[in-house]
Amino acid sequence: MKLLACLAAAAAAAAVPLASARRLAPREARVLYDGFKVFEIDAPEGVDAIIEKIANIDFIDVDEGSPDSYSVAVAPESVKDFEALGLKHVVVHEDLGADILLEGDLQPYASRKLSRASSEALSAHLPGVEWFNAYHAYADHVDYIEDLHYAFSNNSELVIAGKSYEGRDIHGIHLWGKGGKSSKPAIYWHSTTHAREWITTMTVEYFLYQLISGYLASDAEVTALLNAYDFYVLPVVNPDGFIHSQTTDRLWRKNRQPRCNQACIGTDLNRNWPHYWNVTGGASDDPCAQSYRGLSPGDTPEMASFTAYTDKVASAHPDGIKFFVDWHAFGHIILMPYGGNCSLRVANYDRQMELARQTTAIIESVAGSKYRYGPVCDVLYAASGGSMDYVYDIAGADIAWGWELSPASEAAGGFVLPAEKILATAQENWKGVKWLLTQL
């Protein structure tokens, strides 16, 4: 009954204009963004000052970016009024709807389920690299991970890390090599924490593909990695938001949890971890903001799943978690703690910085992509309630990073990356990751 009451309250509140500005009200029908123009606005006086200046403009938040920039998608009928304000800005998308179309359709996937019971060699079930030519629906990602498992069934298991707000399983896979599972330090990766960051899903699946195909082919480097570490990979940790981004609103970021008496739905799952949660300037307490932190630390169903599963992984291995990554887009940045306490440095700071320096150099050697690196507070801004701080401090990981993939900037496309760039993004980062794993 409480849930129904909250949903009813949220639906009623959605009809009321937001007081702070003419943000377009949350919409549950398909958001096409046709004719919407995206501007990245300089905000030297802070985001709130910009919101006040565009109070009479119809817009949708795209990204709060940093304390001194703010990106909005302006409705076609308001573009001239926005431009007349004379705010310093960069045009990111002339027509956001048209650019979204350039990503291509979600391509169907023919699962190998029907052939699993045949007499074929297990390796015959390994999906082909053509998977990385397009984006795919959530259900196909689940099938893809299952197919990877069945191609590597003697050295892998499917895992469920918990449940989402809407009751979906949070799927993942656990890989290991010689010596059996849970006998070595853990490598632990999350992706698609922010629903619209589709390139992260594809990239970590490419890493899985390379690990499994390499081991099956007796590749010496890959075999050594799987013999040295157990890999836990959760490609879509925000399934509700991911599905919403595919079916309704391409730029959806948060989970799909409503709050009582609020028009806006969703919590930023990377501001909700129960560590350094209540930090001034590190997240938003506005339920309509992209970086909304929730009402209290860890108060989302997903976070209950994340923390429990993270602690389970850490305790299952004698040497705990060696290397955690929360994969994100965009920006070409390798981030390390801390985001919730800008006065702190990790204990192995010099080592992490050197590893990041060399990793970014290797990535750049592939196709020229230049990555920045360093603590969140130094490279970006304070970001409280984040995964890195929790996994490093509470779960005891040796290294815990956030890794921002392509493109390099909002002006280069932001969250909307054409499918033709999936493979190149995955390949250059795999080269860096593979080297890094040999150095841990």
Q: Under a CB-based contact definition with an 8 Å cutoff, are residues 323 and 188 in contact?
A: yes
- The pLDDT assigned to 7 comes to 40
- The pLDDT assigned to 260 comes to 84
For 242-275, b/e burial (b = at least 16 CB within 10 A) is: bbbbbeebbbbbbbbbbbeebbbbbbbbbbbbbb
Identity of residue 390: Y
Number of domains in the chain: 2
Same domain flag for 94 and 126: no
Per the structure block, which two tokens stand in for 162? 């918990």
Provide the domain limits for residue 21.
2-101
- The pLDDT assigned to 242 comes to 99
Same domain flag for 92 and 191: no
* C-alpha span between 428 and 419 (Å, rounded): 16
Same domain flag for 48 and 163: no
Same domain flag for 143 and 66: no
Q: Positive or negative CA dihedral for 245, 257, 393, 208?
A: negative
Same domain flag for 55 and 137: no
Given 68, 101, 134, the domain boundary residue is 101
Q: Under a CB-based contact definition with an 8 Å cutoff, are residues 321 and 397 in contact?
A: yes
404 is an active site residue: yes
Identity of residue 360: T
In a domain, 107, yes or no: no
Active-site entry in 64, 197, 302, 404: 404
Centre a 10 Å sphere on the Cβ of residue 3 and count the other Cβ atoms it contains. 10
In a domain, 193, yes or no: yes
In a domain, 278, yes or no: yes
Per the structure block, which two tokens stand in for 74? 């302006």
In a domain, 267, yes or no: no
Same domain flag for 157 and 47: no
Same domain flag for 234 and 142: yes
Q: Which CATH number goes with the domain that contains 49? A: 3.30.70.340
In a domain, 84, yes or no: yes
Same domain flag for 87 and 222: no
Given 78, 101, 124, the domain boundary residue is 101
Per residue in 186-203, pLDDT tens? 999 999 999 999 999 999
User: In the chain, which stretches have pLDDT less than 50?
Assistant: 1-21, 119
Instruction: Report how many helices (DSSP H) and strands (DSSP E) the chain contains, helices first.
Output: 13, 12
Q: Under a CB-based contact definition with an 8 Å cutoff, are residues 305 and 178 in contact?
A: no
In a domain, 48, yes or no: yes
Same domain flag for 126 and 54: no
Given 101, 121, 147, the domain boundary residue is 101
Q: Under a CB-based contact definition with an 8 Å cutoff, are residues 144 and 109 in contact?
A: yes
Same domain flag for 28 and 127: no
For residue 210, give the nearest of 59, 18, 423 by alpha carbon. 423
Same domain flag for 297 and 185: yes
pTM of the model: 0.91
* C-alpha span between 215 and 155 (Å, rounded): 10
In a domain, 254, yes or no: no
Q: Under a CB-based contact definition with an 8 Å cutoff, are residues 334 and 379 in contact?
A: no
Q: Under a CB-based contact definition with an 8 Å cutoff, are residues 414 and 328 in contact?
A: no
- The pLDDT assigned to 17 comes to 33
Q: Which CATH number goes with the domain that contains 130? A: 3.40.630.10
In a domain, 268, yes or no: no
Q: Evaluate the omega torsion of the peptide bond into residue 407 and state whether it is cis, within 30 degrees of 0.
A: yes
For 106-115, b/e burial (b = at least 16 CB within 10 A) is: beebebbeee
- The pLDDT assigned to 99 comes to 94
* The three-state (H, E, C) secondary structure of 142-199, written as one string: HHHHHHHHHHCHHHEEEEEEEECCCCCEEEEEEECCCCCCCCCCEEEEEECCCCCCHH
Same domain flag for 78 and 161: no
For residue 300, give the nearest of 234, 233, 390, 240 by alpha carbon. 240
